[in-house]
Structures are given as C-alpha cells and as structure tokens.
Structure 1
C-alpha cells in the first residue's frame, strides 16, 4: 500500500500562480496516494474555481476570512483523513517529478520534517535553510547583514552552497515546501495561530525539535519557488520582523528578549537611516506593533 499524503495549499488571491502548482502535482507526487486540500482565506479572485476545475477531487476548506497562514493550515488539516504525512505547499511552488516520494523516504527515524532543495525561478539555489534565532546571530546580522550567514555563530541563513547538495539537518527551513510525518504532527499539535504570517514554520520546526523530531534537507528532492514578496513589500517585511521578536519572546526570558529586540531594531534602524523604505516601516512596527495592518496575534 502506497503512503497516503494530504497535500495542503493555503490560498489568498492566488489565481495567478495556482495553475502552475496544480499542474505539477501529479508528477511531483508520483507513486503516492494523495489528496489535495485547498485552504482558502476568502480569496476575491478565481482561486477556488481554478482549483476545482484542475483538481476535481480536491477538498475546498473555506475559512470565510483572511484568517492567516497557520489558521488556514489547521482548518484544512482537521479535514484531512486518513494520511501518513502532510505536504504543505505555497501556491507559487512547482514540484519536480518524483520530488515528494523522495522526501517521503526520509521521514521516520527521528526525522519529522523533510524539505527539498529549492530553486528560484532563475534556476539558482535558494538559501532556504536556517539556524535557530539567537541574540548573537541577531547582532551579527545587524552588523554584517546577510553576509553574517557565512558564519554559523553570527547568522541565521545557511549560506554555504554545498550544504544544499548533501542531506543534513537544519534547525528550521522556509515553509514554502514542508513534508511532515503523522507522528510529528500528532506529537506537536496545531500550528501556532498567533502568527498571522511568517515565523509559524519556525515555531513549528523548533517545537518539533523540542519533541525529538528533526528537520532535514533531502538534497535529491528539488522544487521551484517563484515567490519572495517579503523582499519588496514594506508591509510584509515589517510583519516578518515583528514576528521574529514575537517568536523569540515565546521561547526566552524577558531580559534575553530585550537584547534580541535591540539587535533587530539596530539592524532595521541602520538600514532605515540609509533610506530603505521597508526598514523604515519595520522600525515603526517594532516600536508600535499593534499598528501593523494585519490581525493582531
């Protein structure tokens, strides 16, 4: 009997990118028994209709509002039975043939989350592996910027390109594509809905690690991700920045959190002084996070 995979896609006005993902599912999930669950956050476009037309056997879970990423995932997961693993996908991902079965083969023996090598639309390797947030790494990134990732003690992003061509563990990985075992999900419980968007995958991966389930890169599995809106949108960047602090606060003491906040503030303030609009927005959000144009945590 082939492994049963619940494929969950969270959509919000995703009609422009959904067809590419949906067309890639059959080959990407070759050899597996799978069903698609679309968790739609009240899209005003044709996301639901497109999905129904291209994958008629899918289940549509409509949240009725823009509920956020984690809440939509949890809503779809509550309808996903039976399954041995859950594949969470962004709408702008394209699976390569056989990629999910390769991930599936790595689950178990302490691995609760398997992630592929991610390529950008231009074919270059995306630096999707991350280290656990620490005060030292936050200050390292404030001083060195993205280059800090070259030094494991000083940056969160794993910038060693060779690390993406061999299997190995990571503290966490970007959540565009994640295959999670049933055992891991049962042990960890729902995703944290206090994060409207960003840091929810970080929190889950760290919580899974706390319970003995590692996140592992499977280098033979490869997908394409054409996204990256947080790089250009000041509103999304400010939410990402504030949620980094929120996550750190959940796992650390108040004094440690104050130091982490200071490091993150230093990074954004220094870039705001150079005229970067998204950093100016992030500084304002760090000072007054309740003013973010998204539902509060």
Structure 2
C-alpha cells in the first residue's frame, strides 16, 4: 500500500545538517522519506540511511531542482513535501499541513523558525529585482512588502515561499513539473511560486505549524563562489519574468496581489 506522504530531501555534503536536524525524526508507516544525494564527498548518504531514509545516490550533481525531480519521480504518495536537510520535521505535524492543503487547494509551507524560535520570512512577495537586492543586503525597507511571516494559527497567502519546505498534492506538483531543472541552484523556488500563481494554485504559509530551519544562506555575505552560482540563475529568472525588472510595473502587479489576497 502506498504511503500517504513522501518527504524528499536533497543533500550535498549535508551529513552534519542531517545529524543535527533529522536526528529526532520518527519514521511513520504512512510516510516515506527519500534522500537524493547529489554526489556528496562526505557521508551524507550513509547518515541518511542510518536515520531511516531511502537513499538515491546520484553519480553526479544535478542541482537542487534536478535532484528534487528524481526524488519526486521515485515517490508514490498522494502528498509530497520537499524538505531541506537543515529542517526539522515535527512529529505529528503532517496531518495539520495536509488539512491546510485540502482546505485551500494550494501549495503549503509551515512557518519556519530559527533554532532560537524567532520566525523566518519564508513567505515572500513578488520578487522584483530591487526588492531582492535590498533583501540580500539586509535592508529593513523590504520587510513589510517582501518578507512575509504567518502569525500563530494564521494561513497566510503569499506569492512564493523558500524552497526549504514546500508541500502539496502530487497532482499539483505533476501539473507544475515540479521543479525547473534549468535553475541549477537559486531562484527555482521563486519560479515555482510564480508558475503556481499562473496556474491558479494558492501558496500558503501556515502559522498553525512551525518547523526549525537552520538557514545558512551563503549569499547573505560576499563570497565570490556562491554569487558565481547565483548570478546565472538570476539572469535566467529575470529573462523569463522581465516585468519584475522594472519598478514601473510594480503598481500593476501589486494590484493583482491585492485582488488575490497575497498582500
């Protein structure tokens, strides 16, 4: 009998994160955990097996989206969650999230929190280039319109949410692809949210459930290696969504936000 849930985790030299964030994971009979390892040079695959995952060890690094798609194609459940190795899935939290998915008909993310319990802005508004850059630079100006937090008990409509935790039905993910493999890393989550919006699929951050997320984002500080990976994805993303480059289109796009309740 097929499980109700498939949790898919992409690893790349993530052994330490798995030990820290998945050590308390409790396997359930109706949940399969699939770890797709992107040719790690550490013992990520072995650690994942020890923690109870079914591991798919790839011979080469396919990137975040490509590896997620491998895991998705090997899964068999009605509900699917893409969950990063530095996220702790709380026992008993999948059923409430399943209820939000069913009631809203959308893609759902729990409200992510830092290890100290403070909320992370995993919900986001439209990714205009100017707001993305302000957010990268740590500007508070982006906080009210771009970074979104769900209050306790609130189901908050957003434009997109970070790829650290993305959950929904198999049917919706099959409709969407789910992940565009042309983004090796970065911007694939923004793209997924905008494609879901274009297909009329709501995107909800649920404050009914919180999961801890380590969130060690490389491009919040200047080091050339992570920015070298991000810039090609940025170019692909904004060539696909050129209206998000111009501040002149902002009032028109934000009027859609107000119409559909995402502001």
What is the TM-score of this pair, normalised by structure 1?
0.73
In structure 2, what is the Cα distance between the partners aligned to 1:91 and 1:145? 24
Is it true that 1:104 corresponds to 2:98 in the alignment? yes
Q: Distance in 1 between matches of 2:85 and 2:151?
A: 23
- Cα RMSD of the aligned pairs, angstroms, is 2.6
Residue 36 of structure 1 and its aligned partner are, at CA, apart by 1.1
Determine if contact 2:179/2:188 at 8 Å carries over to the other structure: yes
* Aligned equivalent of 1:164, options 151, 154, 159: 151
Q: Secondary structure at the match of 1:244?
A: helix
Alignment match, 1:74? 69
Alpha carbons of structure 1 residues 127 and 180: separation in structure 2 relative to 1, 3 Å? same
Shift of 1:241: 5.0
Paired residues of 2:155 and 2:207 also in contact (CA < 8 A):
yes
Matched, 1:11 2:11: yes
C-alpha separation between the residues in 2 aligned to 1:203 and 1:24? Answer: 32
Deviation, structure 1 residue 3? 6.6
Question: Could you tell me how far apart the structure 2 residues matched to 1:35 and 1:120 are?
Answer: 26
Q: Secondary structure at the match of 2:25?
A: helix
The one of 8, 22, 32 equivalent to 1:35 is 32
Deviation at 1:54, TM superposition (A): 2.2
Contact 2:22-2:87 at 8 Å conserved across structures: no
Q: Which one of the candidate residues 113, 116, 127 is aligned to 1:122?
A: 116
- Distance in 1 (CA, whole Å) between partners of 2:74 and 2:231 is 32
TM-score, length-normalised on structure 2? 0.82
8 Å contact from structure 1 (residues 87, 178) kept in 2: yes
Q: How does 1:141-156 map to 2 (within 5 A)?
A: 141=134, 146-152=139-145, 156=146
Which residue is equivalent to 2:259?
A: none
Answer yes or no: is the 8 Å Cα contact 1:164–1:217 preserved in 2.
no
SS in 2 for 1:117: strand
| Cα distance change, pair 36–3 in 1 and its aligned pair in 2 (3 A) | closer
The gaps in structure 2 that reach 5 residues or longer are 248-263
Larger Rg: 1
| 5+ long unaligned stretches in structure 1 | 261-297
For residues 1-297 of structure 1, the aligned pairs below 5 Å read 4-26=4-26, 33-55=30-52, 58-81=53-76, 83-134=77-128, 137=131, 141=134, 146-152=139-145, 156-158=146-148, 163-165=150-152, 166-230=154-218, 231-232=220-221, 234=223, 235-252=225-242, 257=245, 259=246
Count of residues in Structure 1 that have an aligned counterpart in Structure 2: 243
Separation in structure 2 between the aligned mates of residue 151 and residue 60 of structure 1, nearest angstrom: 40
CA distance in 2, matches of 1:48, 1:233: 30
Q: Which moved more, 1:106-115 or 1:236-245?
A: 236-245
